[in-house]
């Protein structure tokens, strides 16, 4: 993607891809959060359009990247308001939309599970049996609790929490909540499918082409090699475009139509396709009078909606992220992923770290307050340093949490009064274990071609890889081409998630270039990181290296209206070595701005199980007018250090830094977003008898 | 019905339905892909084009109302246009989806006030959303392009 093509609007995203004879798809969705589907009658749809109904897909396979729980259309029960029950392909999107109105569906409403509390009560089961997926995204021990709505439970046992608690002079226990949020990439989900000689070909915006390929192979009973996934550049994703969303349905329509079909998701349907997991976390943390942490217990529940997607993975990451980057001898974590009759929730920039940091770091400030300690002091006293042991039993190296905190604090003049100021430190793991492969070819007409599965979603990792390749090959950028990922051609990769592309692929690239030099035509490099956690004890290696950061915020609060103004916001992020400085800055700034939205106003709202703010007017995302003048950041580097991915690090600490800034004014909140009503209620609590 | 307007300086004549938006017909019939639908309701600016010099959400304007107008899109700006150059130099984009709309809106602002204050820039671009959050550098780009 050249700069010029981006600036002048010549980029062809998935939504712009076309094939001759292509039809356009629209999806009919259940209006009920839970209903028996008695009858679907599409006989009134005119013959020039193609309707797909449950009977067309009954014989197809069940998919799901971590748990096999999803069918191409809802078959007998619709499991959330927005669950696809039928679809139409027609010559134009309008015609398809009109045809949807001609499909008759008879529903019988069923009692629905609308939140975590109801799900855990267990009187309604969203799925009767929970089957673990054979997709390689189910790479860790998944522990469903059959007969309940819990599709995964992850546990950490480190020391003995009860023993630790006895040593504590001060104990804080509090419950924290974060709502569903919407990724809202400017380009919606879009996918184009065609069948060619028994092979399925897809052009789709996804970070996970190989996972999509294997799920689709299973749905259609094909060999993986008979599914081809090509990934055009994405107009943003932020995690929304991971794993299968529209692809199975679009492919089934194309097969029935015998023609290529494109599905570009109408904006409103984004909110019923993939959101961020709402989370409920209870944190109990104890320290001795001098501020030494001795024990921590975290109970976490995330609402994964009607389909698990990668929720089990998010629950696992929340489990250790919520312990935070601290030395704590006695830790007990129980983290669960729970089904409800809500739209599915999946990967969202931060992958659970935002929810975890909100709870964990707000609790740290409550503890500091109780101990009468400076929150920075309390953190610095306990933060992980090189050679310390994390709650997973792994020894941490190359960690710079203290430095990140100090830099962030300095940026808002922490030393000159703490009123209206707050901090948050962040630890985020990188996917472990995983494997990345990249190939470099000498092109016929001169120059080089890079082939790998890393997709372009605006994160700049393809640019970074091109820069690294140019250096390694000693070739100018203009001689290096980097075509869109195509699973027929590129070597295997786990997935471009958890900010791992630049690091993993960068390492693999060095080997690929060495191999190319030997072979003359083509070199393939591979890089693996190994480790993983025992799901029942949480012991092992959570991450082969750590994404580390801290945020500091200064706020002004209008105590009459409850309006929070962020005056200064700073993020300090450990980058190791920086490959592409402007790209790194953009990642940091973009993450902070998304964090601002999560902190101050973003939440998906529901009424009767339906999303009620499914448009960009009622669901607001930050605009240029919302950006504080004092939005700054710095990248910590170290000569010779490893490259650290920066795609997500600066987002998760932002909400808690802002929440802690409010806390410094005695405005103690436990719930996001920090809307005026939430802030006013906290002011009332403060004025009506102090901090609760 | 037929509508005639100037598109990036060239006359065009298109067959449209009375209820179709300018965005639909630009994309379908005029080969314009820089204007993009994102929100579809006039709040995101991804479909921004200039109609007689004014930044307009093409997703809201019915195509027949463009009859006789001068319509300009990012396709009509060359790589050497000062605003395009400023966006390149300031690295003011990530995925690029919002970028052409942002650039078009910025050219309109600068045509009206060649040296806008930061507050003016923020005001003028508040209707152009960038979910990648490239705003700090977008602000910088518009400052650079200003006289
Ligand atoms: S698509 Fe026109 S303003 Fe959003
Ligand atoms: S650069 Fe991606 S939306 Fe603006």
| Mean predicted confidence (pLDDT) in A502-513 | 88
Whether ipTM exceeds 0.95:
yes
Contact present, A629 and A565 (Cβ < 8 Å): no
Mean pLDDT of chain B: 97
Does domain A434-529 fall into CATH 3.90.79.10? no
Q: Which atom of ligand 1 is nearest to the CA of B60?
A: 2
Structural domains of chain B ordered from first start: 2-76 (3.10.20.30), 78-146 (1.10.150.120)
- Taking CA–CA distances from B123, the nearest residue in chain A reads A625
- Exposed/middle/buried for residue B135 (C-beta within 10 Å: 0-12, 13-18, 19+): buried
- Give the model's confidence band at A689: pLDDT under 50 very low, under 70 low, under 90 confident, else very high: low
| CATH classification code of A3-110+199-257 | 3.90.1170.50
Of residues B41, B95, B123, nearest to A235 (C-beta) = B95
Which residues on B lie below 8 Å from A582 (Cβ)?
91, 137
CA triple A345-A624-A555, angle to 5 deg: 80
Of residues A9, A585, A622, nearest to B74 (C-beta) = A9
Tell me whether strands A345-346 and A330-339 are parallel, antiparallel or unpaired. unpaired
Which residues on B lie below 8 Å from A7 (Cβ)?
74, 79, 84, 87-88, 93, 96, 99-100, 103
Quick check: helix, strand or coil at residue B17?
coil
The answer, yes or no, to whether any atom of ligand 1 lies below 6 A from the CB of B105, is no
d(CA A382, CA A574): 19
The residues with which A229 forms a beta bridge, in sequence order, are A202
DSSP-derived secondary structure for A445-494:
TSSEEEE-S---SSSSHHHHHHHHHHHHHT--GGGEE-PPPBTTTSPPBS
Q: Are the Cβ atoms of A233 and B74 closer than 8 angstroms?
A: no
- Min Cα separation B132/chain A (Å): 5
User: What pLDDT is recorded for position A88?
Assistant: 98
Give me the residue label for tokens 């309940």. A148
pLDDT at A691 over 80: no
The answer, yes or no, to whether any atom of ligand 1 lies below 6 A from the CB of B44, is yes
- Give the model's confidence band at A1: pLDDT under 50 very low, under 70 low, under 90 confident, else very high: low
- Taking CA–CA distances from B19, the nearest residue in chain A reads A94
Which residues on A lie below 8 Å from B135 (Cβ)?
589, 593, 622-624, 627
Least confident of A401-410, A500-509, A591-600: A500-509
- DSSP for residue A642: P
Between the CA of B132 and the centroid of ligand 2 the distance, in Å, is 4
| Mean predicted confidence (pLDDT) in A303-325 | 98
Quick check: helix, strand or coil at residue A221?
coil
pLDDT at A63 over 70: yes
The answer, yes or no, to whether any atom of ligand 2 lies below 6 A from the CB of B38, is no
User: What pLDDT is recorded for position A644?
Assistant: 83
Tell me whether strands B10-15 and B2-7 are parallel, antiparallel or unpaired. antiparallel
The answer, yes or no, to whether any atom of ligand 1 lies below 6 A from the CB of B65, is no
Q: Which atom of ligand 1 is nearest to the CA of B59?
A: 2
Which residues on A lie below 8 Å from B131 (Cβ)?
183-186, 236, 238, 594, 621
The answer, yes or no, to whether any atom of ligand 2 lies below 6 A from the CB of B130, is yes
User: Which of A485-515 are b and which e, b meaning 16 or more Cβ less than 10 Å from the residue's Cβ?
Assistant: bbbebbbebbbbbbbbbbbbbbbbbebbbeb
User: What pLDDT is recorded for position A433?
Assistant: 85
- Give the model's confidence band at A647: pLDDT under 50 very low, under 70 low, under 90 confident, else very high: confident
pLDDT tens column, A92-120: 999 999 999 999 999 999 999 999 999 99
Question: pLDDT above 70 covers what percent of chain A?
Answer: 98
pLDDT at A608 over 90: yes
Alpha helix (H) residue ranges in A286-398: 311-321, 353-371, 375-382
- Exposed/middle/buried for residue A555 (C-beta within 10 Å: 0-12, 13-18, 19+): buried
Starting from the CA of residue B138, give the closest ligand: 2
| Mean predicted confidence (pLDDT) in A315-321 | 97
Least confident of A378-382, A444-448, A672-676: A444-448
Mean pLDDT of chain A: 95
- DSSP for residue A580: -
Domains A3-110+199-257 and A434-529 share a fold: no
Write out residues in chain B with pLDDT < 50, as ranges: none
The answer, yes or no, to whether any atom of ligand 2 lies below 6 A from the CB of B132, is yes
Is the overall model pTM greater than 0.95, yes or no?
yes
Least confident of A8-12, A35-39, A72-76, A579-583: A579-583
Q: Are the Cβ atoms of A236 and B97 closer than 8 angstroms?
A: yes
The answer, yes or no, to whether any atom of ligand 1 lies below 6 A from the CB of B39, is yes
- Min Cα separation B32/chain A (Å): 9
Q: Are the Cβ atoms of A589 and B130 closer than 8 angstroms?
A: no
- Taking CA–CA distances from B74, the nearest residue in chain A reads A8
- Min Cα separation A294/chain B (Å): 40
The answer, yes or no, to whether any atom of ligand 2 lies below 6 A from the CB of B94, is yes
d(CA A570, CA A648): 15
| Mean predicted confidence (pLDDT) in A480-487 | 94
- Taking CA–CA distances from A184, the nearest residue in chain B reads B131
- Give the model's confidence band at A499: pLDDT under 50 very low, under 70 low, under 90 confident, else very high: low
Query: From residue A90, how far is each of A194, A530, B19, B128 by CA, in Å?
Result: 15, 48, 19, 32
Query: Ligand 1, residues B44, B50, B128: which to mutate, most atoms within 8 A of Cβ?
Result: B44
| CATH classification code of A175-181+275-431+537-688 | 3.30.365.10
Q: Are the Cβ atoms of A586 and B73 closer than 8 angstroms?
A: no
d(CA A185, CA A194): 25
Tokens encoding A647: 């795609």
- Give the model's confidence band at A692: pLDDT under 50 very low, under 70 low, under 90 confident, else very high: very low
Through-space distance between the first and last CA atoms of chain B, rounded to whole angstroms:
43
pLDDT tens column, A539-567: 999 998 899 999 999 999 999 999 999 99
Q: Which atom of ligand 2 is nearest to the CA of B133?
A: 4
Which residues on A lie below 8 Å from B47 (Cβ)?
none
d(CA A412, CA A419): 11
The answer, yes or no, to whether any atom of ligand 2 lies below 6 A from the CB of A6, is no
pLDDT at A531 over 70: yes
Q: What is the phi/psi pair of residue B78, to 5°?
A: -90, 170
Q: Which atom of ligand 2 is nearest to the CA of B102?
A: 4
User: What pLDDT is recorded for position B90?
Assistant: 97
Give me the residue label for tokens 């190359």. A398
- Taking CA–CA distances from A182, the nearest residue in chain B reads B131
pLDDT tens column, A351-382: 999 999 999 999 999 999 999 999 999 999 99
User: What pLDDT is recorded for position A67?
Assistant: 98
pLDDT tens column, A576-602: 988 889 999 999 999 999 999 999 999
- Min Cα separation A126/chain B (Å): 32
User: What pLDDT is recorded for position A459?
Assistant: 66
User: What pLDDT is recorded for position A496?
Assistant: 54
Domain positions in chain A: 3-110+199-257, 175-181+275-431+537-688, 434-529
CA triple A52-A53-A59, angle to 5 deg: 100
Q: Which atom of ligand 2 is nearest to the CA of B132?
A: 2
pLDDT at A422 over 90: yes
The answer, yes or no, to whether any atom of ligand 2 lies below 6 A from the CB of B4, is no
- Taking CA–CA distances from B103, the nearest residue in chain A reads A7
Which residue, among B136, B138, B142, would best test binding to A if mutated, counting the most A CBs under 10 Å from its CB?
B136
């Amino acid at each position: 993607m050249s700069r010029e093509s981006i600036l002048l609007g010549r980029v062809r995203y998935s939504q712009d891809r076309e094939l001759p004879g292509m039809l356009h798809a629209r999806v009919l969705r259940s209006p009920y959060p839970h209903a028996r589907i008695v009858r679907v009658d599409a006989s009134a749809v005119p013959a020039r359009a193609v309707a797909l109904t449950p009977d067309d897909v009954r014989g197809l396979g069940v998919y799901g990247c971590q748990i096999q729980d999803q069918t191409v259309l809802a078959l007998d029960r619709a499991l959330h308001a927005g669950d696809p029950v039928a679809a139409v392909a027609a010559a134009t999107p309008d015609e398809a939309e009109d045809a949807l109105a001609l499909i008759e569906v008879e529903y019988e409403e069923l009692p629905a599970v609308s939140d975590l509390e109801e799900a855990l009560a267990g009187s309604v089961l969203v799925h009767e049996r929970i089957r673990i997926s054979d997709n390689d995204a189910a790479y860790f021990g998944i522990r469903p609790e059959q007969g309940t709505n819990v599709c995964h439970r992850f546990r950490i046992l480190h020391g003995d929490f009860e023993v630790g608690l006895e040593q504590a002079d001060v104990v804080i226990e509090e419950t924290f909540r974060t709502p569903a949020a919407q990724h809202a990439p400017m380009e919606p989900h879009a996918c184009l499918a065609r069948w060619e000689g028994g092979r399925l070909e897809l052009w789709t915006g996804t970070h996970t082409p190989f996972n999509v390929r294997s799920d689709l192979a299973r749905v259609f009973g094909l060999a993986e090699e008979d599914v081809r996934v090509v990934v055009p550049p994405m107009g943003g994703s932020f995690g929304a475009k991971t794993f299968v969303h529209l692809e199975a349905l679009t492919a089934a329509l194309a097969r029935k139509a015998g023609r290529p079909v494109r599905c570009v998701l109408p904006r409103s349907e984004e909110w019923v396709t993939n959101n961020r997991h709402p989370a409920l976390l209870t944190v109990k943390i104890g320290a001795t009078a001098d501020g030494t942490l001795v024990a921590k217990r975290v109970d976490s529940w995330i609402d994964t909606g009607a389909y698990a997607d990668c929720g089990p993975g998010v629950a696992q990451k929340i489990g250790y992220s919520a312990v935070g980057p601290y030395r704590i001898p006695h830790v007990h974590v129980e983290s669960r992923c729970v089904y409800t009759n809500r739209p599915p929730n999946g990967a969202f920039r931060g992958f659970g770290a935002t929810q975890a940091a909100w709870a964990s770091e707000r609790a740290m400030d409550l503890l500091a307050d109780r101990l009468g300690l400076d929150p920075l002091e309390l953190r610095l006293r306990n933060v992980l340093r090189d050679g310390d042991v994390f709650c997973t039993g792994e020894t941490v190296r190359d960690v710079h949490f203290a430095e990140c905190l100090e830099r962030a604090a300095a940026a808002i003049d922490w030393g000159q009064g703490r009123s209206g100021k707050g901090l948050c430190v962040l630890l985020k793991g990188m996917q472990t274990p995983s494997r990345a492969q990249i190939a470099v070819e000498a092109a016929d007409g001169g120059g080089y071609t890079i082939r790998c599965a890393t997709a372009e979603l605006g994160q700049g990792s393809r640019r970074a890889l091109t820069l690294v390749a140019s250096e390694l090959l000693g070739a100018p950028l203009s001689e290096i081409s980097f075509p869109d990922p195509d699973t027929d051609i590129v070597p295997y990769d786990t997935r471009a998630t958890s900010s791992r592309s630049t690091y993993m692929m960068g390492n693999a690239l060095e080997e690929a270039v060495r191999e190319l030099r030997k072979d003359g035509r083509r070199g393939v490099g591979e890089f693996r990181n190994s480790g993983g956690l025992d799901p029942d004890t949480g012991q092992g290696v959570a991450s082969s290296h750590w994404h580390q950061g801290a945020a500091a915020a200064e706020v002004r609060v209008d105590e009459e209206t409850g309006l929070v103004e962020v005056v200064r916001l700073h993020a300090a992020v450990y980058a190791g070595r920086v490959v592409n400085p402007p790209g790194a800055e953009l990642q940091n700034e973009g993450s902070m701005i998304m964090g601002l939205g999560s902190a101050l106003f973003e939440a998906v709202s529901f009424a009767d199980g339906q999303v009620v703010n499914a448009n960009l007017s009622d669901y607001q995302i930050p605009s240029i007018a919302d950006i504080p003048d004092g939005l700054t950041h710095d990248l910590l580097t170290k000569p010779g250090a490893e490259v650290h991915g920066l795609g997500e690090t600066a987002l998760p600490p932002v909400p808690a830094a802002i929440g802690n800034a409010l806390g410094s004014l005695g405005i103690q909140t436990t719930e996001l977003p920090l809307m005026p009503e939430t802030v006013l209620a906290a002011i009332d609590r403060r004025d009506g008898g102090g901090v609760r | 019905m037929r509508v005639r307007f100037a598109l990036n300086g060239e006359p065009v004549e298109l067959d449209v339905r009375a209820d179709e938006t300018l965005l639909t017909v630009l994309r379908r019939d005029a080969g314009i892909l820089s204007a993009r639908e994102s929100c579809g309701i006039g709040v995101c600016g991804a479909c921004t084009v200039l109609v007689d010099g004014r930044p307009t959400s093409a997703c809201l304007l019915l195509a027949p109302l463009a009859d006789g107008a001068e319509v300009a899109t990012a396709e009509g700006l060359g790589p050497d246009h000062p605003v395009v150059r400023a966006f390149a130099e300031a690295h003011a984009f990530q995925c690029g989806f919002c970028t052409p709309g942002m650039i078009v809106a910025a050219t309109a602002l600068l045509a009206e006030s060649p040296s806008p204050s930061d507050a003016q820039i923020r005001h003028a671009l508040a209707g152009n959303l960038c979910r990648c959050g490239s705003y700090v550098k977008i602000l910088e780009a518009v400052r650079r392009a200003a006289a």
